[in-house]
A and B are shown apart, each in its own frame.
Chain A
Amino acid sequence: MRRIVLRRLAQIIPLVFAVIVLNFVLIHLAPGSLFDVMTSEQQITDPSMLDQLRHTYGVDQPTWVQLVKYIWSVMRLDLGFSYRQNAPVLDVIMDQLPATLILMLSATAIALLVGVTAGVLASIRVNSIWDNLISLGAVFFFAAPSFWLGIMMTVLFAVKLGWFPVGGMRTIGTDNGAFADALDVMHHLVLPATALGLFYAATYARVMRASMLEVLRLDFVRTARAKGLSSTRVTLAHVMRNALFPVITLLGLQLGTILGGSVVIEAVFSWPGIGSLLFDSIMSRNFPMVLGVLVLGSLLVAVANAAVDLLYLRLDPRIRPR
């Protein structure tokens, strides 16, 4: 087991290296540069000042030198300096990463809770009105763009009913202690996490339903019932546990796309995460920031996937190494 953990962690190193090289090359192949954007914003035309800034930003060096220097600094756990934000890349990311993690984790929790529950319900009442309604809901939330869903939820629950704030992460200027602050964040989190989570809930519901129906037909379920176990116990302890494997696999695969989806949701709900930071950085060709976000993002996804793999091993003794 320990060897497997170490092997999984070791696989992260070439992955991060590939992320750096690929994105570095892609950003440099894109037309326009951070230097162009910043000097145009700042209306700098003096040739000596332009040269000075080229040197300061390090863009007066060949691309391969910039790449080698960047890799070397990442190896020393330094993600570089963002001249656009006038701050170290890691500082800016760490300011905004917690918000994204809270959003991602909440959305994942909602997706799992709603999706798995709906999938189980649909499978045990197959072809009933419940099954049809859940299938219809799953298709709807799978097809609805998350930004549209976010705006519709805002109009209904924030503007018309006034139950939730329109955007942001907390009520600005209040300081009522840690507990009240946590409640305030949760209050702000409901709409964005739901808007982001429902798409994935729809996927999980469909996968869970299909998986449950498949497991329900297996011999061990019939045996469990023949032994006199209650229907609830059979469903929860035997069928659901085995039907969860495809959902867990999917969860690991979708962590990256949840991070991508948060870019849109953060924009709609003014959620102060790294999604907006990444989008702005791509638009301004701010490659130290883009690479910083992607390096940390890929690390997160890789670690989460490794954790999912380990969970898989834990749940299914058949695939454990002997």
Chain B
Amino acid sequence: MNRFSRRDFLMTSAGAALATRLIDPARADVEAPKRGGTLIATWGGLEPQSLFVPAGGGSSPYFTSTKVHERLLRFTVDLKFEPVLALEIKPAADFRSYTIKLRDGVTWHDGKPFTADDVVFNVMEYWKPISAGVSLDALESAEATDPLTVVLKFKAPVPEFFLKSVLAGKSGLIIPKHIYAGSNIITNPINNTPVGTGPFKVKEWVRGSHVEYLRNDKYWNPSLPYLDRLVIRWWRDPASRSAAFEAGQLDIGTFNPIPIPDIDRLAKGGKIIAETKGYSNSAWVATIEFNQRREIFNKREVRQALMQAIDRQFIADTIFFGRAQPSVGAIHSSNSIFFTKDVQDYPFDSKKAAKLLDAAGYPVKGGSRFKLNLVSAGWFEENEKIGQYIKQAFEDIDITVDLVVPDRATSLKRIYTDYDYDVAISNNSGSVELIPSTTEFYTTDGIVKGAAFRNATGYSNPKLDEVVARMAVETDERKRIALAGDFDRLASSEAPLLPLVDLEPVTIARSDVRNHSTTADFMGESWAELWLDR
């Protein structure tokens, strides 16, 4: 994986060149960016509970906080790391320590200087215990060797791509030590008016309506941000968001802001565009999960048979109107680094599925092979439709299905706390780096009662655990990719849980909004480089 070598990273760290770097040729506008203007944005979900939720809190606070809080690095849309607050991140020869050189001249919104002490505080007091979880298990210490240098030490070798992914990911936001030190980070009232180093400062949050940000005139890159003002508004109803786009009252919306059938209609006139780039580091799938605590699903042949009874192309075409594609293995197809097609496939064939069930010892008796409870998590409307389809697909091979679609709180409890299901339809979003966001659905250490979006099936396979453990310390990137292939092949053939379809989230934007969707997680980007061609 030469393209992610240290040399490449350093080559891309050309500091202020970030300001005018145009990453995606599709939007690599030849005109010079224009300064000024107000961008009205939204997303396909609800208002955040707090503008910044230190431990995560879902997509909504992530969207609002990332305009204020920055990271050391970011991931471009073509999966290269770019510097933000770090100028250089250099591993030692044994990959047990990393030296981070920080950007000089960065200040917090309140005027205090950003220093290595802030990074040390974040690493030890915020990331390791709160936001990064198991990702930083191997971290032993963080030390500021001078005001702009931090050294991280680990108890085991840490792959460079893995560490940079953590630093560029959701858990790597940097908060000010002088505000948070000595307080409870999770409940600090400042989380409702966050202070960061980012290109925008919070002006006002009108609960139930919008949050307004103003340009940070003292941003470390003096040519950014291009916008004077950014407003994030919330509409609960997707049809109302569609109307707002049509009436010219919304400029951009991320993560499926409007009903899928409206996308083509709005994009037809050319004034509004639909963009699918910008989601590869937050790649969503709809999954089917077989509860291993039920005797029937201990048999791999049963799981494989059920996978063959599902027409995933039908789900992609009919339920998602083509805005999804059948998953190939456990790794999202947009992951151009680790994705492989060399995994066990499950082509739709209900007759073969029935024969496999006969062979597995589950013939039809009294009109049914067996009965199962299907829980379809009700947080996405599409999950209910998937559940209805799967009920019919399983009934076609003489399985009796009781389908329930509980609301969010009940779904979380039934699937991830009580394990009260036989088969579940759920979702997850994985980053490009597979550990832990993808692997924890399959590994034994991913089984944590009450922890959502992990291994709820109870599947445990020492062989698979071993492959993931080797990936966690393998510093040769080619060997890591090979291990990821081994992991995917095992996960796909064992099928305790598999993605049904890879979702293709869409950003809707007016055509005069420029330079968007240029990073691998556009929704969580600072939006400093967006500009309006007006």
Q: Of B46, B207, B453, which one neighbours A96 at CB under 8 angstroms? A: B207
User: Do B191 and A276 have beta carbons less than 8 Å apart?
Assistant: no
Q: Is the CB of A86 within 8 A of B50?
A: yes
Q: For the complex, give the distance between the alpha carbons of A286 and B202 in Å.
A: 26
Residues on B with beta carbons closer than 8 Å to the beta carbon of A50: 450
Closest to A39 in B: B450
What chain A residues lie within 8 Å of B450 (beta carbons)?
36, 39, 45, 50
B57, A269: Cβ atoms under 8 Å?
A: no
Q: Which residues of B contact A99 (CB under 8 A)?
A: 208
How many Cβ-Cβ contacts under 8 Å join chain A to chain B?
164
Judged by a CB distance under 8 angstroms, whether B407 is at the interface is yes
Contact yes or no, A270 B240, CB < 8 A? yes
CB-based contact A270/B239 at 8 Å = no
Q: Is A83 an interface residue (CB 8 A)?
A: yes
Tell me whether A33 is interfacial, beta carbon within 8 Å. Answer: yes
Pair A31/B49 contact, Cβ less than 8 Å:
no
Residues from chain A with a CB closer than 8 A to the CB of B56 are 41-43
Cβ of B412 and Cβ of A36 under 8 Å apart? yes
Asked if A167 and B244 make an inter-chain contact with CB atoms under 8 angstroms apart, the answer reads yes
Which listed residue (B57, B234, B407, B412) contacts A42, Cβ 8 A? B57
> If A31-B409, A43-B55, A86-B187 touch, does A272 touch B237 (CB 8 Å cutoff)?
no
Alpha-carbon distance between A217 and B206 when the two chains are bound, in angstroms: 54
CB distance from A264 to the nearest CB of B (A): 9
Beyond A36-B413, A86-B50, A284-B408, whether A158 also contacts B231 by CB under 8 A is: no
> Would you give the shortest CB distance from A301 to chain B, in whole angstroms?
21
Is the pair A173, B233 in contact by a Cβ cutoff of 8 Å?
no
- A87 lies within 8 A of B249 (CB): no
Most buried by B among A45, A46, A271, A279: A45
A92 within 8 A of B: yes
Residue in chain B with minimal CB distance to A33: B409
Q: Which A residues are in CB contact (< 8 Å) with B183? A: none
Q: Are B208 and A277 in contact (CB under 8 A)?
A: yes
What B residues does A53 contact at CB under 8 A?
186
Residue contact A276 to B409, C-beta cutoff 8 Å: no
B38 sits at the interface (CB 8 A): yes
Q: Does A159 contact B (CB under 8 A)?
A: yes
User: Taking the complex as formed, is B212 at the interface, i.e. its CB lies under 8 A from any CB of chain A?
Assistant: yes
A84 to chain B, nearest CB (A): 5
- The interface bits of chain B over 229-258 (1 if a CB of A lies within 8 angstroms of the residue's CB, else 0) are 101011111011001101101000000000
Give A286's nearest chain B residue, CB to CB: B49
Q: Complex Cα distance A169/B233, Å?
A: 11
Cα separation A56 to B186 with both chains bound (whole Å): 11
Q: How far is the CB of B421 from chain A (nearest CB, A)?
A: 13
Tell me, yes or no, whether B195 is within 8 Å of chain A by CB.
no
Mark each residue of chain A from 92 to 104: 1 if its CB lies under 8 Å from any CB of chain B, else 0: 1001100100000
B276, CB-defined interface residue at 8 Å: no
Question: Is A127 at the interface (CB under 8 A from chain B)?
Answer: no
Residue interface mask A243-282, B partner, CB < 8 A = 1: 0000000000000000000000011111111101101100
B416, A155: Cβ atoms closer than 8 Å = no
Q: Is B361 an interface residue (CB 8 A)?
A: no
Interface residues of B in 194-249 (CB under 8 A from A): 206-210, 212, 229, 231, 233-237, 239-240, 243-244, 246-247, 249
> What is the minimal beta-carbon distance from B420 to any residue of chain A, in angstroms?
9
Check if B369 is an interface residue, CB within 8 A of chain A: no
Contacting residues, chain A, for B206 (C-beta < 8 A): 95, 169, 272
Q: Chain B residue with minimal CB distance to A84?
A: B49
Query: B452 at interface (Cβ–Cβ under 8 A)?
Result: yes
Across the two chains, which residue of chain B brings its CB closest to A37? B409
Q: Is the CB of A85 within 8 A of B50?
A: yes
Q: Is the CB of A159 within 8 A of B246?
A: yes
B409 close to A85 (CB less than 8 A): no
Query: Is the C-beta of B454 less than 8 angstroms from some C-beta in chain A?
Result: yes
Q: How far is the CB of B444 from chain A (nearest CB, A)?
A: 14
Report whether A283 and B240 are in contact in the complex, using a CB–CB cutoff of 8 Å: no
A6 located at the interface, meaning its Cβ lies under 8 Å from any Cβ of chain B in the complex: no
Instruction: State whether A86 touches B451 (Cβ < 8 A).
Output: no
A218 contacts which chain B residues (CB < 8 A)? none
Cβ contact within 8 Å between B55 and A44: yes
Q: Does A166 contact B (CB under 8 A)?
A: yes
A151 B38 Cβ-Cβ under 8 A: no
- Pair A273/B208 contact, Cβ less than 8 Å: yes
Do B409 and A42 touch (CB < 8 A)? no
New A-B pairs, 14, CB < 8 Å, besides A85-B50, A166-B249, A172-B210: A36-B413, A39-B451, A41-B56, A42-B57, A45-B454, A87-B50, A87-B189, A95-B206, A158-B247, A159-B246, A165-B247, A169-B209, A284-B49, A285-B409
What would be 6 A-B contacts, judged by CB atoms less than 8 Å apart?
A: A32-B410, A36-B417, A45-B448, A86-B187, A87-B192, A173-B229
